[in-house]
Copies of this chain bind each other. A is one copy, B any other.
Amino acid sequence: MNASTAHPLKPLSSLLDDDHFHDECGVVGIFEHPEASNLAYLGLYALQHRGQEAAGVVSTDGQEFYNHRGMGRVADVFSAKDIKRLKGNRAIGHVRYSTTGDSVLRNTQPLVINYRHGALSLAHNGNLVNARELREELERAGSIFHTDMDTEVILHLAARVDGKDAGERLAAALSQAKGAYSIVALTETRLIGVRDPLGFRPLVLGRLVESGGYVLASETCALDLIGAEFVRDIEAGEMVIISEKGIESRRPFAPVGRRMCVFEYIYFARPDSNLDGINVYNARKRIGHELAKLYPKDADIVVPVPDSGVAAAMGYAEATGIPFELGLIRNHYVGRTFIQPAQSVRDFGVKVKLNAMPSVLKGKRVVLVDDSIVRGTTSAKIVNLVRDAGAREVHFLVSSPPTTGPCHYGINTPDRSHLIAAQHSEEQIRKLINADSLGYLTMDALYRAMGSRETGYCDACFSGDYPIFKEIGAEERQLRLIKEG
């Protein structure tokens, strides 16, 4: 065990940079199954698209807690021997993605601590917007921190509040936290699932029919793999406590109305998942239909930017009758990193993932469909690839509205100054990415595709309407937006 973790430990000031607290993640929890850790591992396998940087599982037999975490993909982090060592009938798991320099073993989840009430383990998907303030307060009161993660802030709060059981303590801790969180927690006797009052991130409940056990997971695709039956979505603001007595549902927070992240449907979730009752693949196809209504092009073929643009491109082709073609082929074996030659290969960064086919594209008027434009540089390279392969025209359709603001609720987007749509007009963007035409989805069309706006979604990255800051009050929000703008 020669493992080592040489890394700069940031002093307080640098730790509070907003970027550190952004992370996309997936969580899973298993209650009462003889192979709990194996099922948790498989759940993470199915949720791998939510984070490929690190993975971990904590299990318990009701007495001891067992822990295995590592950097990399689920398949690389766990061996059969590791799974075997993770004893007990209950387990929680976590996959994590992060682009910051603090991609270190120390910052992997689930965390597990010993405190006055025993042991508590926690895995968290989301982002606390007041993590900085809470951390400062806790440090003033004598808490010491070992990681940079929001998760540790929640654990410190839980160790200091009162409550007659772990559920109450976790609720009391979370009532001080503002932001997005879908959490699974494990104690000696309970598996707990919580979704923040606005329900930004998904969390579903499933049932292991044979063992009579329960599963919590970020998405339904995890239930499918382990053969669990979908029961229902955990609701915004709900806490479920699963113990030997069964499932108890609590409502520890004041109701404020659901604000599920709409970008989960557009890009982040797996197409075969159903989130709050809506199938992701079908939603994307309907978005394609809406794009067809908004931008009926006189074109020869519709080509998706794979994989996230596929379903919307299929929807567009279906609605317009223009043939759907795979003019860009994706290399699915691409690892997390590759070694780039010093001497530049033109558009290398995109070529490693995508190859354009002249035999499909040559001489064609092409409708290209992608999920979003963030910085614009990748989109420009993709348009170049398609033109180099001989396309006569390239019409770039985007299956989301312009991304004009960062996400504070758990998706890692750059700040406003790097968002092309926050800095440029659509016509400027069209020129910058060298497309013949450019069409974004409109907000109205988005919600037609989603069925209804009224269900309650967070679309802050498109609309600037940040639900938490509205709740906190205009003044404080002002403060933050100035800093970011």
- Which residues of A are interface residues toward B (Cβ below 8 A)? 1-12, 14-15, 34-35, 38-39, 41-42, 45-46, 48-49, 52, 63-80, 82-83, 85-86, 104-105, 112-116, 118-119, 136, 139-146, 155-156, 159-160, 188, 210, 221, 224-227, 270-272, 274, 279, 281-282, 307, 310-311, 314, 318, 323-326, 329, 331-343, 345-346, 348, 351-352, 355-357, 359-360
Contact = CB atoms under 8 A, between A and B. Distances in A.
Contacts of A274: 359
Nearest to A224: B355
B119 A139 contact: no
A143 B142 contact: yes
A289 to B, nearest CB: 13
Contacts of A114: 9-12, 15, 139, 144-145
B78 A2 contact: no
26 contacts: A1-B72, A1-B105, A2-B70, A2-B72, A2-B77, A3-B71, A5-B69, A6-B68, A6-B82, A8-B64, A8-B65, A38-B340, A45-B333, A48-B333, A115-B139, A116-B139, A142-B159, A142-B160, A224-B355, A225-B345, A225-B351, A227-B346, A279-B359, A307-B332, A314-B324, A314-B326
Contacts of A68: 4-6
Contacts of A145: 113-115
A2 B46 contact: no
8 nearest CB pairs, A to B = A3-B3, A75-B335, A142-B160, A48-B333, A279-B359, A116-B139, A272-B329, A9-B65
B352 A45 contact: yes
Contacts of A6: 66-68, 82, 85-86
The listed residue with most B CB atoms (<10 A of its CB), out of A63, A104, A341, A348, is: A341
A15 B119 CA distance: 12
A281 to B, nearest CB: 6
B323 A225 contact: no
B144 A105 contact: no
A144 B119 contact: no
Given A69-B5, A142-B156, A35 B279 contact: no
A77 B66 CA distance: 25
A65 to B, nearest CB: 4
Contacts of A343: 34-35, 210
* Copies per assembly: 4
B70 A39 contact: no
Contact of A65 (B11, B34, B140, B281): B11
A338 B281 contact: no
A225 B85 CA distance: 35
Contacts of A49: 333
A210 B118 CA distance: 52
A42 B342 CA distance: 13
B9 A270 contact: no
A25 to B, nearest CB: 15
A256 B442 CA distance: 63
Given A2-B76, A144-B159, A314-B326, 12 more contacts: A3-B3, A12-B118, A38-B340, A49-B333, A73-B333, A78-B339, A144-B155, A224-B355, A225-B331, A272-B357, A279-B359, A318-B323
A68 B139 CA distance: 25
Nearest to A49: B333
A210 to B, nearest CB: 8
A26 B114 CA distance: 27
A11 B64 contact: yes
A8 B136 CA distance: 31
Nearest to A344: B227
A124 to B, nearest CB: 15
Contacts of A8: 64-66
Contacts of A318: 323
Contacts of A336: 75
A326 B310 contact: yes
Contacts of A116: 136, 139-140, 142
